Amino acid sequence: MRLPTTEQRDFVSTVEAIAAKHDPLRGVRAAAASRQLDEALWQALVDAGVLEPLREGDVLTACLVAEALGKSAAPVPYLSRSVAQESLSVMGADDPEVWATFGFLGADGGCTARSLDEREGRVDGVLPFVPDADLAQAVVAVVRGDRPCAVVLDIADAKRTPLRTLDLTQPMSSLEFGGAAATVLSVAGTELVAAMNRVQAVGTAIHCAGLVGAMSWLLETTVTYAGQRVQFGQAIATRQAVKHSCAEMLAEVESSRAMVLELADALGDEGNDNDAHARELLVSTVKAFVSDAAQDCASRAFQLHGGIGFTWEHDLHHYFKRCVTGATLFGTATSHRARIARYLRALPTAQ
């Protein structure tokens, strides 16, 4: 596992400074409605180069950026842009710079969306869960048939239905296509399967990094509050039960961060692709652990904040919702543990 370099840490500090300057949650605090994109914030991030590392295959830096944005719960389309950008790159798109999102998510949160139907260059079907479809111009999806392939569809050709979701900072929509024209990408067959595995792995890494950022904010905020909240003449941080709970949160944050760094390092090592199954095992191991850790960390933060944590005025509920919904995106902990079990059962037994 490679640790972040000084240059990478400096870049992340720049991203954090931009987020702090724009106060990303300001618009969501003002009204109980889904986010309205802060265009000045997003443009500042793009100008700073947050999308550049992944274009160069630097998954580690992309994950560090995701962690920084997760720490501020920034309601920006970084995850969807990154996953779509990786999809277009590995699937042979002519224009990987188009503002696109991805349409792979199914009802279980994994990349299991039912494929679309294609006939004579026209596509029909529904993509049930598409992030940031209110902002993107296009969506990358998969078409089934005798020779499954990936396509790029214009969102303007779809009937878009905003979905009511728990996390207001990351809106979802369903897209229904009826005879829409599609741009067919060059990757198909077994190459498409490999490309989808790559996209899912990179998306999982970036998403888990964002959850680590949210968990980090929860830990820091909870420790600060415990040191300030006084009961019976003493700060609650002096109570052993509170200390132990904060220590558990710290262990979850640091363990999750280490696992994400290990995954990002593995995905960035293109020269070592001898065991794709082992890499898929690592993806599932990381996602299963981080999903559980994020939910537990958020629950502990709520418990230790007491009543103030349940108010709309406190930002804690935004992070709680992001952790709870984030635990399902790119597959639940249960589904990934089942995937790990299938992998282990398939291993040859020692004689």
* Domain of 173, in residue numbers: 92-187
**Section 270-276 average pLDDT:** 58
pLDDT score of 203 more than 90: yes
Q: Number of structural domains, the chain? A: 3
62 shares its domain with 24: yes
Q: Long-range contacts made by residues 4-11, C-beta under 8 angstroms, separation at least 24?
A: 4/60, 4/61, 4/64, 4/261, 8/60, 8/61, 8/64, 9/64, 11/49, 11/61, 11/64, 11/65
Q: For 118-137, how does the pLDDT look when each residue is reduced to its tens digit (9 = 90+)? A: 887 789 999 999 999 999 99
Predicted pLDDT at 95: 66
Predicted pLDDT at 37: 86
For residue 139, what is the domain's CATH number?
2.40.110.10
Q: Which among 167, 187, 207 is the end of a domain?
A: 187
223 shares its domain with 338: yes
162 shares its domain with 294: no
Q: Which residues contact 343 (CB under 8 A, 6 or more apart)?
A: 277, 280, 281, 284
196 shares its domain with 292: yes
Residue 1 is assigned to a structural domain of this protein: no
136 shares its domain with 67: no
333 shares its domain with 201: yes
| Least confident window among 80-84, 107-111, 283-287, 302-306 | 107-111
Residue 120 is assigned to a structural domain of this protein: yes
Q: Which among 187, 206, 224 is the end of a domain?
A: 187
Contact criterion met (CB below 8 Å) for 184 and 151 = yes
Q: Which among 31, 55, 85 is the end of a domain?
A: 85
Residue 258 is assigned to a structural domain of this protein: yes
Predicted pLDDT at 271: 46
337 shares its domain with 216: yes
104 shares its domain with 132: yes
For residue 232, what is the domain's CATH number?
1.20.140.10
**Section 145-171 average pLDDT:** 89
**Section 180-207 average pLDDT:** 90
Q: For 285-312, how does the pLDDT look when each residue is reduced to its tens digit (9 = 90+)? A: 999 999 999 999 999 999 999 888 888 8
Residue 71 is assigned to a structural domain of this protein: yes
**Section 211-217 average pLDDT:** 97
225 shares its domain with 339: yes
Residue 351 is assigned to a structural domain of this protein: no
Residue 149 is assigned to a structural domain of this protein: yes
Predicted pLDDT at 33: 65
338 shares its domain with 244: yes
Q: Is 259 helix (H, G, I), strand (E, B) or coil?
A: helix
Percent of the chain with pLDDT over 70: 95
